[in-house]
Every structure is written in structure tokens, then in C-alpha cells.
């Protein structure tokens, strides 16, 4: 029972009929109705890390959270029944404001540099103390759940924040516990995201008022100054990517699905390359759209939901995502028209409009979201130069080369300051989320490919007929046809040509795809312009790869040749 008679425990029902728990007035709260005798109470767990709010909402259901979002003025209900919110100044990740605490655990294991920034342990402690003082006596929301659909590798997490809509976001994106799991929940990772708390750079050692700081040793992440919920999701991902290799599990920035014959496929790629869109296939079961692990038992989703880009969302092209935006889902920075109807074509707030929704909202989703060892891997790149073939087959060494390279064009809105596509190399198709050196993850990929005889393809979902501004984006219809050919194996029946510049084996025929676009040079009006752009990209590959040391010669030789 609740010890303090001024504290009240209120129970309601969420969308799944599970009881929700609210705690009002925290003074000496003991939740013996919720926890077993041998389990530390929820209140004592918060006390242990120094969080002492006055009001706590723990694991409310989607209906109640939607009500609180509107009541608190955080957002509105769109015509789809989903919650629509505006994240203000920050509509994408802030990579320059993300840090990892430099200590005994991380000093020699993190790939420090332009992506993984060092942060002193004492500065972390001081900033965390200020954050705890800031939330003392305030109203907070807590999501208790899990990351990792494989129960043997599952990590219990706790997300504490000051926005009801972000708790709803967590309810969509992470794995929601059963009532029994909630009774015994002890987090092994805690994320504290306080939108209204900002850093003072000159005092706190941050780059700006925004901060995302990961303490691997203490298993705590603190986030402040930004309302963009993607920072929560990606911080959890970074922690998993650091921890899992020591357990022999290959962590991956990819989507995954499985066919009727249990043939699992992985889709690697940065934001905007088509991971979510191409893996949401009505003829296959979706395992997950973004973050996965590959253990000896097979593939498993880290999350319990999807976080899809929805700029220019079209019901005909992406019916699964369109229909998933309904009550319980969250729309970020989508402009609403009359009647609160979402205008997915309006990019006046950002190109990085997003929809978060539970995996169960996708028809035929695989729940629990686990699959077998992948038969096919697809590397997706959005080449804004318009010179890469739309599909090519990679050798094992070629797969390691392109995995370490992680070439794509960073699309507008994904990060602050990106206004138009920019060619980038992002190791492992997810460098912002991979704390260890790329060679660690590439070695695991090569071993997995060898062990399970996995076939790998490189698919360009970017431009054809010229670069961005002159050419056109490759039709999603054609990209789907190429993916289908790879997954069904029919692409193996086609003749191949070898592209000596990029060292790629390219099919000359794919069902449902115009033959002329399979050779990108054919789509350019001025062939010399294509050759110049292709040589430029090949040189970019070669120059980028020089940053890697102790790489087998066979992997280096599998890449493009310098012009």
C-alpha cells in the first residue's frame, strides 16, 4: 500500500487493457501493490540516482498520455487520431552536442574523434547534479521497458522526462513490459531527458546549451536543451552498440524483415536511404525498421516500434506507414492543415518530419521481433551525384569495404544545418551511433557472412540521369523491384557486367526495371559529365578509406579504383 496518506495511486487502462500506474505526491511513497518484497521500490530506485520530483507518471497507457499531451498544451490530436507535436528550434539530431564520458571503461575502446567527443567524468557529475536540482519537486514522466526482443539479451531501461508526448514516443519505440515485468523492473540503463534544462557552455564544458552525454560506466544518459525525441532513441542505440560486441553480438543500423519461407533480410542505410520504406513490404513480415542485433541465434530488433520519415508520405507508395499513423502514434513537426489534417508535403518546419508508432501497427509485423540468420543483406545509399548503379552485387570483401565506407548523401533536415543533399562517408552506415572503431564491426560482419553464406547487394536509391538538381530520384517502384529480385534470388539469373571504376558486378536485367537505368552512364545526357562525376566519387572512396589502418589488402582491393 502507499505509506503516505497524501500520496495517491491511480489506476487506469491503456490501449492494451493493462493497468497504468500514476504516483502523485512522492513523499515516502512505497508501491507494495506493484513490487515484490525483494524488489527495490520504484521510489527508492529514483532516490538512488537523486531524482526527487513531486509528481511522477509511471508507464501511463497511450490513451492517458494523449489526454495529458493535450491538457498540458504540448500538442494536438491530428485528424488521424495521432498526437502532433512541434519540437521547436531543434528538428533533428545535434551531433556536435553529443558526448561520451572518458573513463577507464571507454578510454581505450571508443573511436574518439569528430563523432565520438570526449567528456570529463567530473563535468558529467556536476552537470547531472544541476539537472537533478532542476527537476526536484517537479512533475515527471517515466517509461519503464526494454530494449532487445531477444529475451536472453534484453536490457531493461528507464526513460525519465518532462514531456508527456516524449513518454508516448517511448511507449511507441521501445518494448512495453507486461504487468509481471513491471512489478520487478530494475533498469540497467537510465535516460534522463529534460527539455527545459539547458547547459551553460562556459561553465559545463558543452558546445552549446544542448547536450547529449552518455556515461557507459554508470549506465546513465543525460539529455537537455532539445525537444527532439530522436536523441533518446539514438542514445539507447549507441549504448547497445558499445556493449553488444563484447557479448559476441553484431549490432547494426538496419531494418529487417522476413519472408514466408523464413528468409530474413537486412537493410542497412542512413536516414533517408529507404530502410523503413523498403522493409515495410506487404509480402514479408517486418522485424524492425532501424536497429538490430545479430547473434548466433539470429536477428533481433532492439525496439518495439518504428520511427519513419514522413516527408512527402504517399498512401499509394507507402500504405503500411500511412495506415500506422493513428491513435497512439506521434507525429513530429508535421504541418497540420484545416481540420488538423497532416500535410506530409509541407516542409516549412523541416524536411525531417517523423512518425513514431508501435511495430504492431504494421500489418503482419513479426512479434516478438526476431528472425533467423540473414540470407540477404542490402546496403542502401542515396547517391546525390547520380553515378552509382542502382543495384550491384558485392563480394564478402566488397561488403566489408562498403560497410566500412558507409557512403551516402546526407539528406536535408536529418541534422541541423543540412539544407540539401551532401555526400558523406558514415562508417557502418551509422557512424554517429557506433562508438567503437569501424574495423570492430566490419570484422563481425565478415565473419557472419562467411558463417551463414549471406549474399550482399549495394542499392542506390538516390539520383539518376544527373546529380541532385539536374537528375531525378530513382523511382521507389524500381527500387522495390530490385529489392524483390534480390530477395527472391531471381536477380541471380540475369547476366552481369563488371564496372571497373567502382569494382562492382552489375546486373544488366532486372524484372520491372527499365534496362537503361541499370547503367547510370546511359541516363546522363552528357557522358563526359558522368565520367567526371564518377571519377570524383571513386577518388572520394579511395581517399576516405585511407583513414582506416590494419585493414586486409583484399578488402582495400575490393573498393573503387582511383581515377
- As annotated, the active-site residues are 93, 234, 253, 271, 275-276, 290, 354
Query: From start to end of 197-290, where are the E strands?
Result: 211-215, 220-224, 250-258, 264-268, 285-288
Q: How many residues does the chain have?
A: 563
Nearest to 478 by CA among 504, 517, 439, 446: 517
Q: How far apart are CA 532 and CA 511, in angstroms?
A: 30
Query: From start to end of 310-413, where are the E strands?
Result: 330-332, 354-358, 370-371, 376-381, 391-394, 407-410
Q: How far apart are CA 317 and CA 411, in angstroms?
A: 20
Q: Is 170 exposed, middle or buried (0-12, 13-18, 19+ CB in 10 A)?
A: buried
Q: How far apart are CA 398 and CA 456, in angstroms?
A: 9
3-state secondary structure of 499: strand
Query: From start to end of 134-236, where are the E strands?
Result: 139-147, 155-161, 189-194, 211-215, 220-224
Query: From start to end of 269-397, where are the E strands?
Result: 285-288, 291-295, 298-301, 305-309, 330-332, 354-358, 370-371, 376-381, 391-394
Q: How far apart are CA 275 and CA 273, in angstroms?
A: 6
Cell numbers at residue 78, please? 491530428
Q: Is 235 exposed, middle or buried (0-12, 13-18, 19+ CB in 10 A)?
A: buried
Amino acid at each position: 500500500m502507499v505509506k503516505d496518506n497524501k500520496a495517491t495511486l491511480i489506476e487506469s487502462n491503456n490501449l492494451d487493457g493493462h493497468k497504468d500506474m500514476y504516483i502523485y505526491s512522492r513523499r515516502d511513497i512505497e508501491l507494495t501493490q506493484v513490487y515484490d518484497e525483494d524488489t527495490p521500490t520504484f521510489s527508492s530506485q529514483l532516490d538512488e540516482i537523486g531524482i526527487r520530483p513531486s509528481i511522477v507518471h509511471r508507464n501511463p497507457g497511450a490513451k492517458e498520455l494523449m489526454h495529458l499531451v493535450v491538457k498540458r498544451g504540448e500538442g494536438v490530436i491530428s485528424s488521424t487520431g495521432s498526437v502532433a507535436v512541434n519540437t521547436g528550434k531543434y528538428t533533428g539530431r545535434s551531433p556536435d552536442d553529443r558526448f561520451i564520458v572518458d573513463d577507464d571503461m571507454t578510454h581505450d575502446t571508443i573511436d574518439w574523434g569528430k563523432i565520438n567527443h570526449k567528456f570529463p567524468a567530473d563535468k558529467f557529475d556536476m552537470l547531472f547534479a544541476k539537472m537533478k536540482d532542476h527537476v526536484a519537486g517537479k512533475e515527471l514522466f517515466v517509461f519503464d521497458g526494454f530494449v532487445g526482443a531477444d529475451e536472453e539479451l534484453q536490457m531493461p531501461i528507464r526513460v525519465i522526462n518532462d514531456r508527456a508526448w516524449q513518454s508516448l514516443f517511448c511507449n511507441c519505440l521501445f518494448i512495453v513490459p507486461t504487468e509481471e515485468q513491471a512489478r520487478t523492473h530494475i533498469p540497467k540503463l537510465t535516460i534522463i531527458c529534460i527539455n527545459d534544462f539547458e547547459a551553460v557552455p562556459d561553465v559545463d564544458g558543452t558546445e552549446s546549451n544542448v547536450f547529449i552525454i552518455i556515461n557507459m560506466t554508470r549506465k546513465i544518459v543525460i539529455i537537455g536543451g532539445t525537444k527532439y525525441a530522436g536523441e533518446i532513441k539514438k542514445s539507447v542505440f549507441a549504448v547497445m552498440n558499445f556493449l553488444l560486441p563484447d557479448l559476441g553480438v553484431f549490432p547494426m543500423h538496419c531494418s529487417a524483415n522476413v519472408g514466408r519461407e523464413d528468409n530474413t533480410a537486412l537493410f542497412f542505410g542512413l536516414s533517408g536511404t529507404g530502410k523503413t520504406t523498403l522493409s515495410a513490404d506487404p509480402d514479408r513480415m517486418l522485424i524492425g525498421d532501424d536497429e538490430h542485433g545479430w547473434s548466433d541465434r539470429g536477428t533481433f530488433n532492439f525496439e518495439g516500434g518504428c520511427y519513419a520519415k514522413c516527408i512527402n508520405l504517399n498512401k499509394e507508395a507507402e500504405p503500411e506507414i500511412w495506415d500506422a499513423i493513428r491513435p497512439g502514434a506521434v507525429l513530429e513537426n508535421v504541418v497540420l492543415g484545416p481540420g488538423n489534417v497532416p500535410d506530409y508535403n509541407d516542409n516549412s518546419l523541416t524536411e525531417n518530419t517523423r512518425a513514431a508508432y508501435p511495430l504492431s501497427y504494421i500489418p503482419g509485423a513479426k512479434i516478438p521481433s526476431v528472425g533467423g540468420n540473414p540470407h540477404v543483406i542490402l546496403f542502401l545509399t542515396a547517391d546525390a551525384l547520380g553515378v552509382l548503379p542502382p543495384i550491384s552485387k558485392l563480394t564478402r570483401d566488397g561488403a566489408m569495404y562498403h560497410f566500412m565506407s558507409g557512403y551516402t548523401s546526407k539528406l536535408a533536415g536529418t541534422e541541423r544545418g543540412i539544407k540539401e543533399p551532401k555526400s558523406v562517408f558514415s562508417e557502418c552506415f551509422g557512424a554517429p551511433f557506433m562508438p567503437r572503431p569501424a574495423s570492430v564491426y566490419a570484422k563481425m560482419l565478415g565473419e557472419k557472412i562467411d558463417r551463414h553464406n549471406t549474399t550482399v547487394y549495394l542499392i542506390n536509391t538516390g539520383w539518376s540521369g544527373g546529380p541532385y538538381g539536374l537528375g531525378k530520384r530513382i523511382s521507389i517502384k524500381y527500387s522495390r523491384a530490385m529489392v524483390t529480385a534480390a530477395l527472391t534470388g531471381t536477380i541471380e539469373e540475369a547476366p552481369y557486367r563488371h564496372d571497373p571504376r567502382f569494382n562492382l558486378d552489375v546486373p544488366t536485367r532486372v524484372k520491372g526495371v527499365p534496362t537503361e537505368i541499370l547503367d547510370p552512364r546511359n541516363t546522363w545526357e552528357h557522358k563526359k559529365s558522368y565520367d567526371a562525376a564518377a571519377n570524383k566519387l571513386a577518388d572520394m572512396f579511395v581517399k576516405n578509406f585511407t583513414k582506416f589502418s590494419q585493414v586486409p589488402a583484399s578488402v582495400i582491393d575490393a573498393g573503387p579504383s582511383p581515377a
